[in-house]
Structure 1
Amino acid sequence: MDPEESNRKAEILDAALEVFAEVGYRKATIKAIASRAGLKSPALIYWYFPNKEALLKATIGAIAPAVAQVENAGMIFELPLEVALPMIGKLFLSALDMPKTPQLIRVFFGEAIHNPEVVRPLAESGPLLVLNLLVEYFRRQVEHNHISGHNPAALARAYIGGLLVYMMGKVLFPPLGEGAPPPDEYLNEVVGVFLRGLKG
């Protein structure tokens, strides 16, 4: 694909994400996406994407760098809690630095109730990867007697929950984020509370 085609494909993806975020996946039309992308004919979109679902899946590729970090995070399993929890937290919150994150999250929550199968790839490409990483990490911590009396699946969800609330306040429901400290400070507090709870 030459540079001009690559640029046009990127413009279509940006336009699709904007339209999905504004009206939802179900109400978005190829015609509206083409118009937002500045294309003279909607038919041009089919040169790059066979259908609307393919467009949505391609927009999910925007989080590929974060996904790659999760998939290569096996080294975390050997680290102590004091090191691993901040590392995983930073990985999760790093999505806030990606310009497309707010729109992706709006699409995700907008369609999660009515079209769960449509947004499942987005969940599997981001939050679920981090969640599964945490479950396995805590499972190994229990197995090696570093912590005891805890359910790894519950621990993972409790930790992710604290981070998810922060992210939602930043990109989806601003009142939830009012008065919240910067990401690094917030993460330090969450990790501190979590460690004290595990070792208390």
Structure 2
Amino acid sequence: MDAGTPKFRRRKADRPEEIVSAALAVFAEKGFAAAKLDDIARRAGVSKGAVYLYFETKEDVFRAVVERAILPNLSVVKAMAAAHPGPLADLLRGLAGHIAGVVETTPIGGVLKMVVGEARNFPELARVWHDELIVHALGAMAEAIRNAQARGEVKLGDPRTFALQLISPLLVGVLWRETFVPVGAQPFDLPALMRQHIDTLLGGMLTEGARA
């Protein structure tokens, strides 16, 4: 078995998914270091021994969370980008709305904060998040921008840098929500933040012909 694959033996078909769903919530609430397999088992409604039937370590559980609970959202984004034949502006507005909706309604933001905050002590978290999510998300966005440049819609510039510019405010907004809102800071409306950001950035990215 590949060392990067969660080590579980199939028992009841739904049990690994219940454990992964519980782990997503526990990691978002407690962080990686503080999360215990007991906490995950309790949230999933199984024994700690049942968790070990499917996963050998907490790192394996985290990898499964990324692969089973978070990657499907990325697959939707990649499919939207691949299937969109029209102007880049329409695609980016649609993607921004979808992604903002996901982070508003799931614990993914808490897991992102965990990865950022604990990567120095647990570099495997950052490695998995980068290799399984960031590389593919940036790649899909950069490819869409590269294609738009070929159509004459987007000005000259590094597509990967444009892609990072597009998603950065959402990441900052999530970290703001997870870090400062709990201690009294005024929250941001993430969908509204992204709508305003996309409109502002497109004004600088698009060629005159695409803005017409």
TM-score range, shorter chain: 0.7 to 0.9
Q: Deviations over 1:63-108 (max 9, x none)?
A: 24312212323123x3213212102212322322443223322332
Identity of aligned residues (%): 26
Counterparts of 1:13-162 in structure 2, within 5 Å, are 13-21=20-28, 24-26=31-33, 28-31=35-38, 33-34=40-41, 37=44, 39=46, 42-60=48-66, 61-72=68-79, 73-76=81-84, 78-162=85-169
Summarize the Cα distance change of 1:120–1:193 in structure 2 as closer, same or farther, 3 Å threshold.
same
Summarize the Cα distance change of 1:33–1:132 in structure 2 as closer, same or farther, 3 Å threshold.
same
Q: Could you tell which deviates more after superposition, 120-129 or 147-156? A: 120-129
Contact 2:115 2:126 in 1 (8 A): yes
Gaps of 5+ in 2: 1-9
Q: Secondary structure at the match of 2:72?
A: helix
CA root-mean-square deviation: 3.1
Contact 2:113 2:175 in 1 (8 A): no
Q: 2 CA distance for matches of 1:94 and 1:21?
A: 17
Q: How many residues align?
A: 195
Contact 1:69 1:91 in 2 (8 A): no
Contact 2:23 2:61 in 1 (8 A): yes
TM-score by length of 1: 0.76
Match of 2:196 among 160, 185, 189: 189
TM-score by length of 2: 0.72
Contact 1:142 1:148 in 2 (8 A): yes
Summarize the Cα distance change of 1:189–1:37 in structure 2 as closer, same or farther, 3 Å threshold.
closer
Summarize the Cα distance change of 1:25–1:13 in structure 2 as closer, same or farther, 3 Å threshold.
same
Q: Secondary structure at the match of 1:113?
A: coil
* 1:63 partner amino acid: I
Q: Secondary structure at the match of 2:55?
A: coil
Partner of 1:165: 172
